Structure 1
Amino acid sequence: MTGRTRLRPLAGVLAATLVAHSGTRISAIAIPWFVLVTTGSATQTGLVAFCEMGPYVAVKVFTGPLVDRIGPRRISWIADVVSAAAALLIPLLHARGMLSFGALLVLVAVIGTVRSPGDLAKDVMIAEAADRSRVPLERATGLQGVVERLSGTVGPAAGGALVGLVGPMVGLGVNAACFALGSLIIAVALPRAMGRPQGRVAEKVAGEGGAGGGYWHSFRQGFAFLRREPMLLTLSLMLGITNLLDAAYSAVLIPVWVRESGHGPAVIGLMLASFSITATLGSFVAAAVAHRLRRRPVFFLGWLVMGAPRFLILMTDAPMWAVAVVIGIGGLGGGFINPIIGAVTYERIPPDMVGRVRGIGEALAWAGIPLGSLIGGAAVAGVGLAPVLITAGVLYFLTTNLAGLRPEWREMDRHRGKGGSTESLPTTPVDATRPAS
């Protein structure tokens, strides 16, 4: 087997993730800007983001057992096809004068509903793809972090340029094309045997009697598994708060700050891209050296430089280049966070429970995202931008630093051997899931 053939499973999953996430980042600029300039309402802008991320999180709670049962490869393909169709309907309806605000809410809700299992399925396949490609798990999660951050660079940059030059509806058309390309990559690049229930897992699921008792039994197993691990449960809850603040920041606070500062939508892309460029660099470094570092100090140092400064710099009269530098430094620290979360959680989940455990854990971590955009929009409308920026920055600092004082975080380095290698892990449930930071 040649090196190129051997790496095909991991490369295929990463490529599908890159194009799908890049398209999502484009729509994350196009839709809020479209609503903000057509309605002038920060509340409605937050409501649109809520209607996408609310179903996204709610569905993710219950999707895990289906991913384990049907197989992540098939789930990913179906989700990308449906997402492409729903995203394409938005500019088509707008061109015909048929896109009401209610119709927009329904379509973004459909996208959020189907994107949730699609994203989970791609995440689930990382561990199998790393094994098939014979790539160390920490390196694979580091590359996954690179792809996520790279999509956060390409997507916002392209989204800001498209929205500024040709309008938000063209950006949504590109978003649909990205989902379609992602489904094609999954269908063509991944081996057909990949991402299927195998061996005792398939037999066990098939013997549980279909979607009735079998599904709920599987769901309860995943929930009980997650409850057993205090460190990972605390991690999911902490990420729920930081993701709430991040959602308010990207979906509401940045667009409102840009508008009040007299900048155009391209600056939104610049701000998000400056974070993602340096976060991509941080993820590259993490992929190369993270297995040799102590996880806990690197993890919390990353949060310290990534969190509050991004909010507080917008409170000053700093020039745009200084704002970009502060955001970029935060991205560099943030680039180390997701690879560490990924390695810690992937290595602790038995393969036959990956979908259900990760689905529940990620849902906890993402639960704050729809609330963030909704609360952020209402808060800005109620008290103004400046008080919300201060409050969000302080909450971010307290959440990420005070939570680190809890004793559970020592578990992060417990299974590390000499030289940063991972020692053998217990095969009984120890738990986890990798929420996104």
Structure 2
Amino acid sequence: MTLASTRKPGRRLPLYGWLTADAISLLGTRVSMIAIPWLVLITTGSPTRTGLVAFAEITPMVLLKAFGGPVVDRVGARRLAITADALSCLVVGTIPVLHHAGALSFGVLLGLVAIAGALRGPGDAASTALVPALVERAEVPYERATGLSSAIERGATMVGAAIAGGLVSTIGAADAVAVDAASFGLCALVLVATTGSLETTPAQLSQPSGAETVTEPETSSYAAQLREGWDFLRRDAVLMSLCVMVAVTNLLDLAWSAVLLPVWAHDSGAGVGAVGLVFSVWGGASMLGSVVAATYGTRLPRFATYLVAFLVTGLPRFVLFALGVPLWAILAMCVVGGASSGFLNPVLGAVQFERIPREMVGRVTALSSALCWSLMPVGGVLGGVLVSRIGLSPALLVVGLGYFAATMAPALFPSFRGMSRREPAPTRETVAA
């Protein structure tokens, strides 16, 4: 055995730790994704209020993610991710405590989920900004790392949804939220234990271990750094086009997951267990798709893969729910659509990290992620209004047709063709040289 091979496990420990922490956090988030809307729906009976909870959480998350990019680059991705997780544990844990104390009014719940969203924004941005350093240290392709991350995200959806359905049915929605709180605390501990080797100076935290340190000028203000990140993003036609399209699909996905699906389960009598089952089957199939993408993604044409995956994972889902088909048919659709969706995030992640200069990863990924999430606060409200005004089935069809139009638009715009593979983005020092 060579010396280089004996070092491999140690070099990959931060990547494995990051993936593990991500899995833990996502498991808890998937539980609250079902538990909180169900709590509001059964206590108020209002689809509109259910949508308002999603609005209250996602609005501050998007805003702070957008404006927090320079904080990631200055303070350090690892440090900020750990801090956000620790504080999220306290905030989310307050929900079940107040519920048992009889003090959890709808207004208080809105405030708590807003604070949780405000913490999640910069926390997610910081976690994403660690990827180039993790990939460089582990010596793996971007498709491999982003594919594994996507597989874990989808797997967490599968397991977390199943856990959520069981917990909400047995101990109640409010107590199920405590699982999410615990997951944030455990996530912070795992990051502390496994990613210490990435901790150097704040300016280096978002950079790969082998890259030269790029120090921002002393006179570079926060606003200047934020503007620099935005200027880069808006001038990159590929990244900007992807952000706009994903923003629309995220809006419609949230209308489905936060309102349309829970209302379907409630009105049809399928119950919260069916919600968990749908998410679980979808997540499991998507995890398998992500594993395939991580293994063979470098051999697939990116643009064609992206387009076909969206075609399969989009409109059919909404049509079957609108037609009121049996649950077994919906679950069969979840297998096919979920597997296709597993190919999307590996493509998106690889394109993004190949195009962004390493010293700008924090602010640009934060801005692009915020742009992708920018319409999501309206998603829950849109779903609630549509159901209240035109009924569940017409609402599903309207959202589904909108999804189809947004996801097939890339076939008409040349900018999306620039998704083909390229060398990872250089640092500005490399460009200057």
Q: Same fold (TM over 0.5)?
A: yes
State the 1:194 CA deviation. 3.5
Provide, for residues 78-128 of structure 1, a one-character-per-residue CA deviation record: whole Å limited to 9, x for no partner: 100111101110000111111111110100001000011111111111221
Q: How does 1:135-150 map to 2 (within 5 A)?
A: 135-150=140-155
Q: What is the TM-score with the length of structure 1 in the denominator?
A: 0.92
Instruction: Please say if 1:124 is aligned against 2:129.
Output: yes
* Partner SS for 2:215: helix
Instruction: Please say if 1:78 is aligned against 2:83.
Output: yes
Q: What is the TM-score with the length of structure 2 in the denominator?
A: 0.93
In structure 1, what is the equivalent of residue 237 of structure 2?
A: 230
Q: Which amino acid aligns with 2:25?
A: A
In structure 1, what is the equivalent of residue 15 of structure 2?
A: 10
In structure 1, what is the equivalent of residue 303 of structure 2?
A: 296
Structure-2 separation of matches of 1:194 and 1:307: 41
State the 1:191 CA deviation. 2.1
In structure 2, what is the equivalent of residue 164 of structure 1?
A: 169
Q: Is the 8 A contact 1:69 1:202 kept in 2?
A: no
Q: Is the 8 A contact 1:164 1:264 kept in 2?
A: no
Instruction: Please say if 1:34 is aligned against 2:46.
Output: no
Q: Which runs of 5+ in 1 are unaligned?
A: 417-421, 430-437
Q: Which amino acid aligns with 2:20?
A: A
State the 1:192 CA deviation. 4.2
RMSD: 1.6
Instruction: Please say if 1:65 is aligned against 2:70.
Output: yes
State the 1:324 CA deviation. 0.8
**CA 1:423 to 1:190, structure 2 compared with 1: closer, same or farther past 3 Å?**
closer
Structure-1 separation of matches of 2:376 and 2:304: 26
Instruction: Please say if 1:247 is aligned against 2:247.
Output: no
Provide, for residues 319-351 of structure 1, a one-character-per-residue CA deviation record: whole Å limited to 9, x for no partner: 101101112211111100100010011011111
Instruction: Please say if 1:280 is aligned against 2:292.
Output: no
Identity %: 42
In structure 2, what is the equivalent of residue 308 of structure 1?
A: 315
Q: Is the 8 A contact 2:354 2:424 kept in 1?
A: no
In structure 2, what is the equivalent of residue 204 of structure 1?
A: 216
In structure 1, what is the equivalent of residue 139 of structure 2?
A: 134
* Partner SS for 2:279: helix
Instruction: Please say if 1:398 is aligned against 2:410.
Output: no
State the 1:232 CA deviation. 1.3
Provide, for residues 35-82 of structure 1, a one-character-per-residue CA deviation record: whole Å limited to 9, x for no partner: 000000000000011100111111111011100110010100110011
Q: Is the 8 A contact 1:50 1:374 kept in 2?
A: yes
**CA 1:225 to 1:330, structure 2 compared with 1: closer, same or farther past 3 Å?**
same
Q: Is the 8 A contact 2:357 2:426 kept in 1?
A: no
Q: Which amino acid aligns with 1:12?
A: G
Structure-1 separation of matches of 2:294 and 2:215: 36
Instruction: Please say if 1:324 is aligned against 2:331.
Output: yes
Structure-2 separation of matches of 1:74 and 1:119: 12
Structure-2 separation of matches of 1:402 and 1:146: 26
* Partner SS for 2:102: coil
Q: Is the 8 A contact 1:63 1:117 kept in 2?
A: yes
**CA 1:319 to 1:4, structure 2 compared with 1: closer, same or farther past 3 Å?**
same
Q: Is the 8 A contact 2:303 2:417 kept in 1?
A: yes
Provide, for residues 275-297 of structure 1, a one-character-per-residue CA deviation record: whole Å limited to 9, x for no partner: 11111000000000000111111
1:372 to 370, 379, 391: 379
Structure-2 separation of matches of 1:295 and 1:123: 21
2:343 to 326, 333, 336: 336
* Partner SS for 2:270: coil
Provide, for residues 329-377 of structure 1, a one-character-per-residue CA deviation record: whole Å limited to 9, x for no partner: 1111110010001001101111100011111111111112111011111
Structure-2 separation of matches of 1:273 and 1:178: 18
Provide, for residues 198-223 of structure 1, a one-character-per-residue CA deviation record: whole Å limited to 9, x for no partner: 28766315x13xxxx61000000000
In structure 1, what is the equivalent of residue 208 of structure 2?
A: none
Q: Show structure 1 runs of 4+ deviating over 4 A.
A: 199-202, 422-429
* Partner SS for 2:130: helix
**CA 1:45 to 1:305, structure 2 compared with 1: closer, same or farther past 3 Å?**
same
Q: Which amino acid aligns with 2:49?
A: Q
Q: Which amino acid aligns with 1:4?
A: P
Structure-2 separation of matches of 1:193 and 1:368: 34
Q: Is the 8 A contact 1:16 1:182 kept in 2?
A: yes
Count matched residues. Answer: 417
State the 1:379 CA deviation. 1.6
**CA 1:221 to 1:200, structure 2 compared with 1: closer, same or farther past 3 Å?**
farther
Q: Is the 8 A contact 2:243 2:371 kept in 1?
A: yes
In structure 2, what is the equivalent of residue 46 of structure 1?
A: 51
In structure 1, what is the equivalent of residue 417 of structure 2?
A: 410
Q: Is the 8 A contact 2:14 2:197 kept in 1?
A: no
Which has the higher mean CA deviation after the structures are superposed, 226-235 or 240-249? 226-235
